[in-house]
Structure 1
Amino acid sequence: MQNTLVHEIWPASRSSRMAQAFMIVAGTALLALSAKVQVPFWPVPMTMQTFVVLLIGITYGPRLGLATGLLYLLEGALGLPVFAKGAGLAYLMGPTGGYLFGFVVAMAVMGLLADRGWDKTRSGVLVAMVIGEVLIFLPGVVWLAAVVGSEKA
């Protein structure tokens, strides 16, 4: 059952496929823009992306969230300037790679939580957001430690 905000606005039907495609592309555009709003930090810049990832996850649901995350990674892997500082497969495999892959997991899991009604109360949203942050930072920190060494991560 799909109970997320996006599915309330555009219920699943054949005519809503275009709207869903628009939402996915709009989500990747929002992710790309939020990557450019950053606080300089090394080796991984701090950006507004985690907020946008959490927002997409809790509002899009698991399918649209997952599709948005995967399209975002594909855009970056193909060389589009959607990441904070770079593009291409080399950037995706660099220090920020774990966070980027964590984005996809967080969006999908938060969408599942929203489908189960966690987005209906403030406390549910808060707990879902914390879970989303853990799903972003856990693979991010592990990947970062593997790339730059645990003493620098």
Structure 2
Amino acid sequence: MQLTLADKLWSGATTNLVKQAALVIGGSLLLAASAHVKVPFWPVPMTMQTFVVLMIGATLGRNLALATVAAYLVEGAAGLPFFAAGGGIAILAGPTAGYLIGFLVAAGLVGHLANRGMGRSVASAVPIFIAGDVAIFLCGVAWLSTLIGFEAAIVNGLVPFLLAEVVKIALACTLLPWAWKRA
């Protein structure tokens, strides 16, 4: 397992536990903030969350990325206004629930691939970010289809987001290798 970008950027006297706690808390707060950078759509709003989830996985690695997204989900379920629609356990049964679970899957997947050294160049960043995005939308559309039907889930929960996801992936594929070169 290789060093993550977070390890490379934050080395020094801070204890590992303090560093990990700070990264998890900071990451969950960043993910919460990204939920509120949104374009309202029905039944699922377009937010910057997918971009942040992918970057969390790529910079923190699997274990910390999973801890970060899990913390975010617990914080939102506990009632903090961390989700795009606010907070509370009921959101984990609503139209966005599959996407939220997909965030956890994607963070773990992208983090695992980053732990294996992927994402340090544009060529190796493209497949990990596409894989992460596919994981999010597979989970999201699968759950949404149980609520509104498969065809409606594709039309309302995938198609409107495709162009924005291409832009977010391009941004992530530019930023991550750039950060590695400067680390």
- TM-score when normalising by structure 1: 0.94
Contact 2:78/2:89 (8 A) holds in 1? yes
Query: Counterpart of 2:126?
Result: 126
CA drift at 1:2: 3.6
For each residue in 1:120-141, what CA deviation from the matched residue of structure 2 results, as whole angstroms up to 9, or x when unmatched? 2211111110000001000100
Alignment of 1:15-54 (within 5 A): 15-54=15-54
For each residue in 1:38-84, what CA deviation from the matched residue of structure 2 results, as whole angstroms up to 9, or x when unmatched? 01100000000000001101000001000001001100111110000
CA drift at 1:15: 1.1
Query: Counterpart of 1:92?
Result: 92
Q: 2-side partners of 1:93 and 1:139: how far apart? A: 13
CA drift at 1:7: 1.7
For each residue in 1:88-124, what CA deviation from the matched residue of structure 2 results, as whole angstroms up to 9, or x when unmatched? 1111111000000000110111111011111222111
**Aligned-partner residue type, residue 60 of structure 1:** L
Runs of 4+ in 1 over 2 A off after TM superposition: 9-14, 148-152
CA drift at 1:32: 0.7
CA drift at 1:12: 9.9
Q: 2-side partners of 1:35 and 1:82: how far apart? A: 7
CA drift at 1:149: 2.3
* Pairwise CA RMSD: 1.6
User: 2:63 aligned with 1:63, yes or no?
Assistant: yes
Equivalenced residue count is 153
